[in-house]
Structure 1
Amino acid sequence: MFDALYISATGMQAQQLNVDTIANNLANVNTTGFKKSKVGFTDLMVQEAARLMPGSEEAGVLGPQRRLGAGVGIATMSKLFDMGDLKKTESAFDLAIQGEGFLEVTMPDGSSAYTRGGTFRVNRDGLLATSGGFPLKPNLAIPDNAKDLKIDGDGRVHVQVAGQATPIELGQLEMVRFTSPAGLKAQGDNLYRASTESGEAISAKASEDGMGTIAQGFLEGSNVKLTDEMVNLMVAQRVYEANVKVMQASDEMLGMINALRK
């Protein structure tokens, strides 16, 4: 009886986290470049329970063991990197990636983070950077008198400088991909860090080795599908309610047992 109480409690805890995750997905349905999260479940430790053989209660002979589960636990919480819809903005500093690649970003401590694109700008050091001011790799210095920024599909960056007839090529953006992008750790501001689950970053040029191409003047929308998340929310709510009913039924049965002793 007590097992049922504890098992239903694990189910409620698991579904609460599931509902929280779905709520975060729904809250970011219009967030540029947002990647939805998904919770994976696993059964908890299975224990062996011996039982008496029929008709042998007095002798105390034990029969074959039964395997009893101990509830449900969280196996994974992963990001799904399905591509969102591209939205045209016509802004030269808006970039989206059509493919599996990420742009590499240098953080203040010198470490690397990764982004799928977004709205970029020139930071106080004159470098092409994320909206948070973190420069892209390699460092691309934008001249003060530059205009008409152009970024090709292969990541080559050109600017038109006053007094020169032809555009100047500043360099080529570096891109990376991961064996298991679902293992990346989200840092906020559309930035991710590598982890043991994601594997090491694999470097290549844009349009090579499955990296994809860069689309200037576009932003990638959230990959959250409103209908799917609402269905997932309703299922999670019903599973939570079912676990509550199991807990209530177990409590009532314990109450009946206690009443019999009086």
Structure 2
Amino acid sequence: MNLSLHIAASTMRSAGTKVDLISNNIANIDTIGFKASKASFQDLLYERINQTERINLPGRTTPLGFQYGHGVRINGITQDLRPGALKETSNPYDVALTGPGMFQLIVPPAEAERLGVSDEAMGVYAQLFDNEDYGYVFTRDGSFRLDVRGGYSSLVDARGYQVSDRLGNPIEFDFDVESFSIDNQGNLFVNEEAAPHTQLMLANFNNTQALHHAGNNIFVERQFVEGNFQTINDNPDMFQNTQFAQGFIEGSNVDIIEQMTELINAQRMLQFGARAIQSTDTMMGLANTIRS
């Protein structure tokens, strides 16, 4: 009896986590650059109960003994990093990516630590960009703006994090920005100048599932993987699959039909678990009323 309660409880606990993920996905269906999360399940330990030869009656075709499980648990939560649909805004400070990759943002080391960037990743960034004063995080949300900071302007995202150029430095302007344009390779032109002022960083990862979603559309390397981080400095061929699109933003990649289907499945898991608990409670009640 207690085993059946344990199995039902583990199933309901896992199903509840899945419902929470689906609820978060649906709530962010209109969030710029949002990536949906998915939960995968795994069977818990199986055990075998042996049976005596007394029940090995004539005509039996199955071996003696049977296996029983202990329910399921969440095996892992993965990020669905497929691109979302592009939406035209005609705002010159809105930028979208048409393929894989992410924008690189600059944060102070203390903020990087708060978001969970690993010490190993911070060390690699410091060596790669020859700067220990910055930490780096990543996003698909390209809704940028100009922020005036003590006599100069800086290109920042919706959270106020500075946008990184391809050298790992913040994009700043010590003059008035009257016009602003970005070509399909991230070259940034200001005030109709012929030469680019700088170039936005395009970062990518060999294994995107090693990234951790830190909230607010920010992804970080919480568990550092050697050789996972890539930039256009090391791999210019990234532009063959990804380009910058000015005047567009990337919508959420949440598929509402898929999410509602998964929600129905998760609710059925909860219902089955609840019925199992109810049936076990009824059987325990009957057993307690039996008189010798």
TM-score, scaled to structure 1: 0.88
**1:150/1:207 CA distance change after superposition, 3 Å:** farther
TM-score, scaled to structure 2: 0.80
Are the aligned partners of 2:34 and 2:141 in contact in 1 as well (CA < 8 Å)? Answer: no
Q: Which amino acid is 1:159 matched to?
A: V
1:103-122 superposed matches below 5 A? 103-109=103-109, 110-122=134-146
TM superposition shift of 1:33:
0.6
Gaps of 5+ in 2: 57-62, 110-133
Are the aligned partners of 1:78 and 1:183 in contact in 2 as well (CA < 8 Å)? Answer: no
User: Of Structure 1 and Structure 2, which has the larger fraction of its residues in strand?
Assistant: 1
Alignment of 1:174 onto 2:205: no
Structure 1 match to 2:243: 213
TM superposition shift of 1:64:
5.1
Identity of aligned residues (%): 29
User: Of Structure 1 and Structure 2, which has the larger fraction of its residues in helix?
Assistant: 2
**How far, CA to CA, are the matches of 1:33 and 1:152 in structure 2?**
20
Alignment of 1:248 onto 2:275: no
**How far, CA to CA, are the matches of 2:45 and 2:189 in structure 1?**
59
CA-to-partner distance for each residue in 1:207-249, whole Å, 9 max, x for gaps?
Answer: 7236500111000000111111111111111121011101111
Alignment of 1:127 onto 2:154: yes
Structure 2 match to 1:66: 66
Are the aligned partners of 1:79 and 1:183 in contact in 2 as well (CA < 8 Å)? Answer: no
Q: Which amino acid is 1:240 matched to?
A: L
Structure 1 match to 2:43: 43
Gaps of 5+ in 1: 57-62
Are the aligned partners of 2:34 and 2:140 in contact in 1 as well (CA < 8 Å)? Answer: no
**How far, CA to CA, are the matches of 1:238 and 1:189 in structure 2?**
31
Residue of 173, 179, 187 corresponding to 1:148: 179
Are the aligned partners of 1:19 and 1:236 in contact in 2 as well (CA < 8 Å)? Answer: yes
Structure 1 match to 2:229: 201
**1:41/1:198 CA distance change after superposition, 3 Å:** farther
TM superposition shift of 1:185:
1.1
What secondary structure does 2:197 align onto?
strand
Structure 2 match to 1:100: 100
TM superposition shift of 1:198:
6.9
Are the aligned partners of 1:207 and 1:213 in contact in 2 as well (CA < 8 Å)? Answer: no
Question: Please, which moves more after superposition, 77-86 or 166-175?
Answer: 166-175
Q: Which amino acid is 1:148 matched to?
A: S
**How far, CA to CA, are the matches of 1:198 and 1:90 in structure 2?**
38
Alignment RMSD: 2.2
